[in-house]
A and B are shown apart, each in its own frame.
Chain A
Amino acid sequence: MAGGQERILRRRIKSVQSTKKITRAMELIAASRIVKAANRVHAAAPYADGITAVVTELQAAGAGSNNPLLTPRPNTKRVAQIVITADRGLCGGYNTAVMRAAEAEIREHEGLGREYALFCVGRKAEGYFRFREYAIDAAFTGFSDFPLYEHAREIAAVVAGPFERGEIDLVQLVYTRFVTAGRQEVVVRPLLPLDREGFAQDSEGPQAGFEFEPEPERILEALLPRYAEARVFAALLNAAASEHAFRQRAMKAATENADELVLNLSRIMNRARQDAITTEIMEIVSGAEALAATGNADNDRLPTE
């Protein structure tokens, strides 16, 4: 029956419309969170800048020449990737882009005969690499959309241990950098050993006569772990802001798709309804005609004249 098709279509339109309500709500939530997350990225900058400035001064004073966190290893055997993704999907290509970049990075180092180590942040990265049977050293989940400094501290501590023991020679961060609300990019940044060159370029030559208390070497010792934490924290905040931006875009597209789908389905439904009506009229008319043709012959109950 043609009426059955119409009912099915009506039901589908309803389900698409309720899905649209959900995607619209998610879009609005993500949009409001982008602003907050972007503000957190900016709010964290003064600390990172301050720490960088202090490390620069300490280096200018000659400290840290043999600190393991600052010394590049001559012969890299094992490279760690910290892959920062989201805990949830529904954010377009956000997760896959990061994971693909991390996998490419692992391949590249394997090509050079180096082993990999894998630290996953976010449920998506953990699931992805576990499914592909990679050896995961540690996974951190449950805070991808609102990371706190404690989380960065935890990650940095877990990674720094094997690095200091010499089990890992290079640590890289793979995450999505938040440039603006309209632009984010996947980046691979070295974390450990800390980039000595980066400090030298930041300073405009050593400032005269800093006093140190305690001696520079000891300050640096306490400072470098904080510096690594601040770097991880900045990456987490960038990733969180990017996640919200991606989700907002993905949900906006989904809402628009739902609109289009409803439009097309209503068109098909209307046509189906018209078809059903036309068929019904045809049936009635031909039925009446057939009745009239036979009815004329033996009785005249129908008012034909």
Chain B
Amino acid sequence: MSFTVKLVSPERVLFEGESDMVICRTLGGGDIAFLDGHAPFLGALAIWPVRMKTETGEISFASHGGFVQVGSEGVIVLSDVAELSGDIDVERARVALAAAEAVLGSNPDDIEATSAAQRARTRLEVAQAS
């Protein structure tokens, strides 16, 4: 059984299609998977890949925060910054990760660098999964 998944960024609808299962990670709540007929759900997303199982395979994208809404019309992911695996610049993500880790090495409490590193790791993971 499949349901509709919509990935919406502020600028446009990035992805709309059928999926059998959506897996994402909520803030502080850990991973959660949605199948067809899931109870209405609202969550804030962590900086983590969102994965969708479809008939043709798995699609994943990097979601840097955002929200997920599960209702009668399917799953809607609202993400301020979301990148499909094909759009990710691996080289840039590596450089960003190295830069962020260098900052963290000298100052482990830097919030900015912590989330930068997390974003870069999420990007790399999504890029490598495809």
* Secondary structure call for the A interface: helix
Q: Is A112 an interface residue (CB 8 A)?
A: no
A222 touches B69 (CB 8 A): no
Bound Cα distance A97, B72 (Å): 44
- Count A-B pairs with CB separation below 8 Å: 89
Q: Give the interface centre of B26, B42, B71 by most chain A CB atoms within 10 Å.
A: B42
Bound Cα distance A251, B41 (Å): 51
Question: Among A43, A54, A209, which residue has its beta carbon within 8 angstroms of that of B67?
Answer: A54
Asked whether A214 and B78 contact (CB < 8 A) given A43-B12, A46-B13, the answer is: no
Stretch at the interface among A79-87, A158-166, A173-181, A225-233: A225-233
Residues of B near A222 (CB, < 8 A) are 27, 44, 65, 67
Q: Is B29 an interface residue (CB 8 A)?
A: yes
Question: Among B11, B40, B67, which residue has its beta carbon within 8 angstroms of that of A219?
Answer: B67
* Secondary structure call for the B interface: strand
Asked whether A213 and B78 contact (CB < 8 A) given A50-B69, A233-B10, the answer is: no
Bound Cα distance A58, B41 (Å): 11
A223 touches B8 (CB 8 A): no
A208 touches B40 (CB 8 A): yes
A58 touches B42 (CB 8 A): yes
Question: Among B13, B32, B71, which residue has its beta carbon within 8 angstroms of that of A43?
Answer: B13
Q: Is B21 an interface residue (CB 8 A)?
A: no
Q: Shortest distance in angstroms between B29's beta carbon and chain A's nearest beta carbon?
A: 4
A44 touches B26 (CB 8 A): no
Closest to A43 in B: B12
Closest to A210 in B: B40
A218 touches B44 (CB 8 A): yes
Within 8 A of A (CB), among B28-65: 28-29, 32, 39-44, 65
Q: Is B6 an interface residue (CB 8 A)?
A: yes
B41 touches A46 (CB 8 A): no
Bound Cα distance A207, B71 (Å): 9
Q: Shortest distance in angstroms between B25's beta carbon and chain A's nearest beta carbon?
A: 10
A214 touches B26 (CB 8 A): yes
Residues of B near A207 (CB, < 8 A) are 40, 71
Within 8 A of B (CB), among A189-243: 207-214, 216, 218-219, 222-223, 226, 229-230, 233
Residues of B near A149 (CB, < 8 A) are 9-11, 80
Q: Is A57 an interface residue (CB 8 A)?
A: yes
A209 touches B39 (CB 8 A): yes
Q: Give the interface centre of B6, B10, B12, B40 by most chain A CB atoms within 10 Å.
A: B10
Q: Is B96 an interface residue (CB 8 A)?
A: no
Bound Cα distance A116, B29 (Å): 43
Q: Is A78 an interface residue (CB 8 A)?
A: no
Chain B, 66-86, contact with A by CB distance < 8 Å: what is the 0/1 string?
010101000010101000000
Bound Cα distance A58, B40 (Å): 12
Residues of B near A209 (CB, < 8 A) are 39-40
Question: Among A44, A211, A229, which residue has its beta carbon within 8 angstroms of that of B39?
Answer: A211
Interface residues of A (CB under 8 A from B): 40, 43-44, 46-47, 50-51, 53-54, 57-58, 148-149, 152-153, 207-214, 216, 218-219, 222-223, 226, 229-230, 233
Give 8 nearest A-B pairs by CB, closest first. A43-B12, A213-B29, A149-B10, A213-B43, A210-B40, A213-B26, A50-B78, A211-B41
| Known interface pairs A57-B69, A149-B10, A209-B39; 16 further A-B residue pairs with C-beta atoms within 8 A, sorted by A's residue number | A40-B11, A47-B8, A47-B10, A50-B67, A54-B78, A149-B11, A208-B40, A209-B40, A211-B40, A212-B42, A213-B26, A213-B29, A214-B27, A214-B29, A219-B42, A230-B10
9 A-B interface contacts by CB (under 8 A): A47-B78, A54-B78, A207-B71, A208-B40, A212-B42, A213-B44, A223-B44, A226-B78, A229-B10
